[in-house]
């Protein structure tokens, strides 16, 4: 940099370049309390004025060159902050060299759920689509509320509107309406209330198995018993043993609809609120509200629970609560919630391999003593919860076979009805039942399912940001390859992919995959919904949800795989609906249209399964767990119970895990955190900025990746008052 040989002073005489130069040791002088603080700034006339009155006029002023801003602090696109004004900004220093590892590109970003995957994509959507950031009906409504100071009423209004929507769906038909003698799922749920109220617990899984015998885990039976007690108090005829079979009075239907609504409000809605405030804490309040609306109005779950009639939101809500507690570091409480989810509906087993390996992986990366503590806690809580659920059938142990044989019905067949998975789609050309027996098919499906979710459980280090991707991979693997799958099982993979898309940009590939899978999931259930008489609700929910979230395939990256696949699938599904309206299937092929539906839907789910594996690998490489093993001996035992206090971060702006240098502007912030480790002997080591308490990898408030002698931290901020502070990635032990 060229510099003048002189600079004007207040005396009007040039000073030499030597007088302008000083060796600045800011990091040393800053810590000395006794050093006088010198403030020199230019006034309007260009002269130098000192704020320190102790300086004498004859004392020469040492003038240092104006400090230059580092290129990192001058990048508004990285920090997502507005550009500084010319008066307040300094010249930028030369750009830093390009990072060698892909994770380093993400160090400087304030990362939220889904932001890592989006950083790998370069959308090529139109300029107008990029410029219009408020295209969705949800965001326009939220902007209107926020600008008028009504943002505190946004969540109650969203819950109220979706409750009215659920009630409107419930006014229609349901599964098995007016179709004796077996009716449908509605009658099954009502019948379980009837038998649990009037029979002892040991008879619940034995009584009249030919008429909707109980085939769900015990927690469903307990919930049915509680609802049956309330129904018996209101009107005993609703749950009279045997005499109430097939009852379809208006009052009984109203009561049954309200049981779904109340359980949904008690479990699923609070889990969604907790999700938006924990997983999306580093995002703006408007983005959190938009994500909540997207999740509350998920069409497949609404039409199955409040139209077809089931209680899937309870199982999904308990699973989501478990993930929220993992995010907060409460692993034992999260494990208990997941066991309750398994105890309510066996479909939660689709998540079990990932959650089990995630918790075991956290135990593996502890020191030996702390490993035993965490493992003992998890084992104790899990075993105690299962024992409590199955306690009526534990003595004698042979009674346990009654619920187990009903919960896992291997005698029903490979698949049920026409479900969009591998077995049903391939059965069109290869008749599996003609070539293999039931035992062989069970073994083959088990092997394919295990191979399908194997990538999700092979991640070496347990990382919370990878958990939704791994859950999606595992659940889609079970849906595509496991034994005895029905159409409604697609609700299980929809939870993690909707979590991922909830805060993604509408023009991103992640958002496109989420919307595509949700829409195709609705389409794959069309034969079931048509049989239930829910055609109007099917069309209305699809149009409303896509309009609400602002989904448009034209906004996706041009000629990307997800855009081409979306357009092709939508054209095929729309054409199939039109063909079904005008053409009757031939008598030889009565299931022609359901089979065509399967052939259209299955490739989408298979592509989404492959995409989830690729995305998980790319995100894992960006964060760092695929790049090598971290020595568990460096994880100090005393740091296991050290957690970040949310209230402390909000009030004091710092926590016991150290401070990060922060740059804030508006709602966005970035954090560069210096880290340190503790050796096995207990000594503390400092890296790039002072002493800090140890932060284990699985428990750390940032995703750490070491390059050379310096450790950098990719932070996940929790709490609007603690932007730039770090929060749990792997959870840690906090009980």
Per DSSP bridges, beta strands 684-686 and 702-707 are unpaired
Tokens read off for 551: 């989904």
Instruction: Quick: pLDDT tens for 243-260.
Output: 999 999 999 999 999 999
Indicate if 426 and 494 belong to the same structural domain: yes
CA distance 269 to 261: 10
Q: Is the pLDDT score of 710 beyond 90?
A: no
Please tell me the predicted confidence (pLDDT) of residue 118. 53
Confidence of residue 416 (pLDDT cuts 50, 70, 90): low
Residue 476 lies in a domain: yes
pLDDT band at 652 (very low <50, low <70, confident <90, very high): very low
Count of domains forming the chain: 2
Average pLDDT over residues 159-174: 96
User: In which band, very low, low, confident or very high, does the pLDDT at 415 lie, cut at 50, 70 and 90?
Assistant: low
Q: Please tell me the predicted confidence (pLDDT) of residue 112.
A: 54
Q: What is the pLDDT of residues 595-637, one digit of tens each?
A: 999 999 999 999 999 999 999 999 888 876 454 444 433 333 3
pLDDT above 80 for 242? yes
Mean pLDDT rounded to a whole number for the chain: 75
Asked if 610 contacts 562 with a C-beta cutoff of 8 angstroms, the reply is no
Whether the Cβ atoms of residue 185 and residue 309 lie closer than 8 Å to each other: yes
Cα separation values, 705 from 105, 106, 625, Å: 12, 11, 9
> Helix, strand or coil for residue 354?
helix
pLDDT tens digit sequence for 418-434: 899 999 999 888 888 78
* Domain co-membership, 539 together with 659: no
Asked whether residue 706 carries a pLDDT value surpassing 70, the answer given is: no
Which residues have a Cβ under 8 Å from the Cβ of 175 and sit 6 or more positions away? 183, 184, 185, 186, 308, 309, 532
- Is it the case that residue 98 has pLDDT exceeding 90? no
pLDDT tens digits, one per residue of 294-351: 999 999 999 999 999 999 999 999 999 999 999 998 999 999 999 999 999 999 999 9
Q: What is the 3-state secondary structure (H, E, C) of 623-656?
A: HCCCCCCCCHHHCCHHHCCCCCCHHHHHHHCCEC
Domain boundary among 592, 623, 654: 623
- Do 646 and 587 lie in one domain? The reply is no
**Is residue 329, in this structure, part of any structural domain at all?**
yes
User: Rounded to whole angstroms, how far apart are CA atoms 446 and 356?
Assistant: 18
How far apart CA 360 and CA 43 sit, in angstroms, is: 64
- For residue 395, is it within any domain? no
| pLDDT for the residue numbered 578 | 96
Q: Is residue 486 part of a domain?
A: yes
Same domain for 319 and 424?
yes
Q: Do 606 and 665 share a domain, yes or no?
A: no
CB-based contacts of 585-594 (< 8 A; 24+ apart in sequence) = 591/418, 593/527, 594/417, 594/418, 594/527
The answer to whether residues 614 and 639 belong to one domain is: no
Evaluate whether residue 432 is within a structural domain: yes
417 and 533 fall within a common domain: yes
Q: Same domain for 262 and 142? A: yes
Torsion, Cα 555 559 562 567, to 10 degrees, reads 80
Least confident span in 185-194, 407-416, 423-432: 407-416
The answer to whether 308 and 710 are in contact (CB under 8 A) is no
726-733 mean pLDDT:
37
Per-residue pLDDT reduced to its tens digit, 34-70 = 444 444 444 444 444 444 444 444 544 555 555 554 4
Biggest CA–CA distance in the chain, Å, is 109
**Is 507 inside any structural domain?**
yes
Of all residues in the chain, the percent with pLDDT exceeding 90 is 52
Look at residue 64 and tell me if it is in a domain.
no
Would you put residue 628 in left (φ > 0), alpha (ψ -120 to 50) or beta?
Answer: left
Q: Which domain holds residue 600?
A: 138-177+248-365+409-623
Domain-terminating residue out of 556, 590, 623: 623
Residues 258-267: tens digit of each pLDDT: 999 999 999 9
Do 695 and 566 have their domain in common?
no
For residue 708, give both structure tokens.
């050379």
pLDDT, one tens digit per residue, over 537-575 is 999 999 999 999 999 998 898 899 999 999 999 999 999
Residues 435, 577 within the same domain: yes
Residue 53 lies in a domain: no
**545 & 664 share domain:** no
Confidence category of residue 207, pLDDT binned at 50, 70, 90: very high
Same domain, 609 and 649: no
Of 598, 623, 648, the residue that ends a domain is 623
Q: Which residues contact 70 (CB under 8 A, 6 or more apart)?
A: 92, 93, 96
Cross-strand bridge partners of residue 662: 671
Checking if the pLDDT of 586 tops 80, the result is: yes
The three state secondary structure string of 385-428 is HHHHHCHHHCCCHHHHHHHHHHHCCHHHCCECCCCCCHHHHHCC
pTM flag (> 0.75): no
């Amino acid at each position: 940099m060229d510099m003048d040989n002189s600079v004007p002073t207040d005396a009007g005489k040039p000073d030499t370049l030597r007088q302008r130069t000083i060796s600045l040791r800011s990091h040393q002088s800053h810590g000395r309390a006794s050093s006088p603080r010198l403030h020199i700034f230019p006034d309007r006339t260009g002269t130098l004025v000192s704020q320190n009155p102790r300086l004498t006029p004859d004392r020469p002023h040492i003038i240092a060159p104006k400090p230059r801003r580092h290129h990192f602090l001058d990048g508004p696109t990285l920090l997502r902050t507005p550009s500084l004004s010319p008066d307040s900004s300094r010249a930028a220093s030369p750009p830093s060299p390009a990072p060698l590892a892909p994770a380093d590109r993400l160090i400087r970003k304030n990362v939220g759920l889904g932001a890592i995957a989006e950083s790998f994509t370069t959308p090529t959507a139109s300029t107008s689509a990029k410029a219009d950031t408020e295209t969705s009906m949800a965001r326009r409504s939220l902007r209107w509320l926020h600008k008028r100071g009504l943002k505190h009423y946004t969540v109650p209004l969203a819950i109220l509107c979706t409750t009215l929507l659920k009630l409107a769906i419930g006014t229609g038909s349901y599964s098995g309406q007016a179709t004796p003698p077996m009716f449908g799922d509605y009658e099954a749920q009502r019948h379980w209330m009837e038998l649990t109220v009037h029979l002892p617990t040991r008879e619940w899984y034995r009584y009249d198995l030919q008429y909707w015998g109980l085939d769900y885990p015990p927690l469903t039976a307990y919930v049915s018993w509680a609802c049956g007690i309330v129904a018996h108090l209101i009107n005993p005829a609703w749950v009279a043993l045997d005499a109430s079979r097939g009852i379809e009075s208006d009052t009984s239907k109203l009561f049954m609809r309200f049981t779904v609504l109340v359980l949904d409000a008690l479990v699923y809605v609070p889990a969604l609120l907790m999700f938006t405030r924990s997983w999306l804490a580093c995002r703006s309040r408007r983005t959190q509200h938009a994500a909540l609306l997207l999740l509350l109005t998920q069409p497949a779950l609404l039409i199955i629970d409040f139209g077809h009639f089931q209680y899937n939101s309870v199982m999904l809500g308990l699973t989501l609560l478990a993930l929220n507690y993992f995010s907060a570091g409460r692993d034992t409480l999260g494990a208990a919630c997941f066991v309750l989810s398994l105890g309510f509906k066996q479909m939660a087993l689709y998540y079990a391999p990932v959650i089990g390996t995630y918790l075991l992986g956290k135990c593996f990366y502890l020191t030996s003593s702390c490993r035993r503590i965490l493992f003992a806690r998890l084992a104790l809580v899990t075993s105690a919860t299962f024992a409590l659920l199955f306690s009526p059938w534990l003595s004698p142990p042979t009674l346990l076979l009654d619920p187990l044989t009903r919960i896992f019905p291997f005698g029903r067949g490979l698949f049920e009805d026409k479900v969009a998975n591998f077995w049903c789609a391939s059965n069109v050309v290869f008749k599996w039942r003609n070539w293999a027996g039931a035992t062989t098919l069970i073994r083959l499906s088990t092997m394919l399912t295990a191979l399908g979710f194997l990538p999700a459980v092979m991640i070496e280090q347990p990382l919370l940001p990878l958990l939704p991707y791994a859950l999606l991979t595992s659940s889609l693997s079970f849906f595509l390859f496991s034994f005895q799958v029905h159409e409604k099982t697609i609700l299980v993979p929809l939870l993690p992919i909707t979590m991922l898309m909830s805060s993604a940009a509408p023009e991103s590939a992640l958002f496109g995959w989420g919307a595509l899978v949700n829409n195709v999931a609705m389409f794959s259930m069309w034969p079931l919904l048509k049989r239930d008489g829910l055609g109007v609700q099917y069309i209305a929910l699809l149009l409303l949800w896509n309009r609400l979230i602002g989904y448009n395939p034209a906004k996706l990256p041009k000629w990307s795989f997800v855009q081409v696949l979306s357009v092709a699938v939508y054209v095929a599904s729309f054409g199939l609906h039109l063909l079904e309206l005008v053409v009757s299937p031939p008598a030889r092929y009565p299931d022609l249209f359901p089979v065509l539906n399967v052939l259209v839907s299955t490739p989408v789910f298979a592509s989404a399964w492959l995409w989830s594996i690729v995305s998980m690998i790319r995100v894992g490489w960006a964060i760092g767990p695929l790049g090598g093993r971290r020595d568990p001996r460096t994880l100090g035992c005393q740091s296991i119970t050290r957690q970040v206090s949310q209230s402390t971060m909000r009030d004091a702006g710092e926590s016991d895990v150290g401070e990060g240098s922060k740059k804030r502007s508006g709602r966005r912030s970035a954090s560069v955190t210096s880290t340190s480790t503790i050796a096995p002997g207990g000594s503390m080591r400092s890296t790039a900025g002072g002493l800090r308490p140890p932060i284990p990898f699985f428990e750390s408030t940032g995703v750490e990746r070491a390059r050379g002698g310096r450790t950098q931290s990719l932070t996940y901020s929790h709490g609007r008052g603690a932007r730039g502070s770090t929060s749990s990635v792997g959870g840690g032990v906090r009980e």
